[in-house]
Amino acid sequence: MRLVHLLRGLTVELDLFGAEFASRNGLHPTDLRALIHLLDAARAGEVVTPGRLGEALHLNSAGTTGLVDRLERLGLIRRERDPQDRRRVRLLVEERAMELGQGFFGGLIGDLLAAMGRFEPGELAVARRFLEAMAEVVATARQQERAGAEAGKK
């Protein structure tokens, strides 16, 4: 159980750190989750449409439109026609959002990387596998919980 408590503590600390970033930049926590999702997708070479963003964040169409409009108004993302399919709109993160994130999270990321430097590559590989397994368990539990809640509504 100690590892579970440590994971919960780390999650709370990271959430509070993210909430501070959101607060300082006039963002809602969902705005931050959207930016993270868009940045992760860009790193993976994935196209994110408003519909896919809404699905990922479990927002309805109106909520997604409001979120995208808000982030676009703040100059953090932009809508762009997909060159592969002009009927589709994709969402892209603006340089300003990356600069804000780097300015706020850069020191933490540097400190995290320095802390990781105290571990052997094999230890980090085990930690990576552990964290991936924990994330998968939580994602599965979240999906099951949502399905149970939806079934209870019927």
Cα–Cα distance between 74 and 127 in angstroms, integer?
A: 37
Q: What is the pTM of this model?
A: 0.83
Is the pLDDT at 152 greater than 90? The verdict is: no
Tens digit of pLDDT for each residue in 25-49?
Answer: 999 999 999 999 999 999 999 999 9
CA 133 from centre of chain: 18
Question: How far apart, in Å, are the Cα atoms of 57 and each of 37, 50, 67, 107?
Answer: 9, 11, 10, 27
The full DSSP string for 40-98 is HHHHTT----HHHHHHHHT--HHHHHHHHHHHHHTTSEEEEE-SS-TT-EEEEE-HHHH
